[in-house]
């Protein structure tokens, strides 16, 4: 969804409805200039794959994962690098 968004610096997905998504591979991968990411109440109940979801961040200083539920995720390989 936001893979390789290199010009993105801030993203607020507060209460983002992703109930119909089951795969988040590379979702925020290589967003190298992203400084702030808000995933407050980000519903992951149906997600089973998060491989490389937060990969290749060099500028990130703020990450809000409050109520970020990953109980059903089966694969989080290289989730945060």
pLDDT of residue 55: 82
pLDDT at position 80 is 59
The domain ranges of the chain are 1-81
Stretch 15-26: mean pLDDT, rounded?
Answer: 85
For residue range 33-80, list pLDDT tens digits in order. 999 999 888 878 888 888 888 888 788 899 898 888 778 888 887 665
Q: Which DSSP state fits 36?
A: E
pLDDT score of 20: 84
Please spell the DSSP secondary structure of 28-67, one letter per residue. Answer: TTT-TT--EEE-TT---TT--B-TTTB-S-SS--EEE-TT
């Amino acid at each position: 969804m936001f893979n390789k968004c290199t010009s993105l610096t801030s993203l607020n997905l507060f209460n983002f409805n992703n109930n119909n998504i089951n795969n988040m591979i590379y979702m925020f991968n290589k967003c190298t200039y992203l400084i702030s990411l808000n995933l407050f109440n980000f519903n992951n109940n149906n997600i089973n794959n998060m491989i490389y979801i937060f990969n290749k961040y060099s500028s990130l200083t703020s990450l809000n994962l409050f109520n970020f539920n990953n109980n059903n995720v089966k694969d989080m390989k290289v989730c945060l690098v």
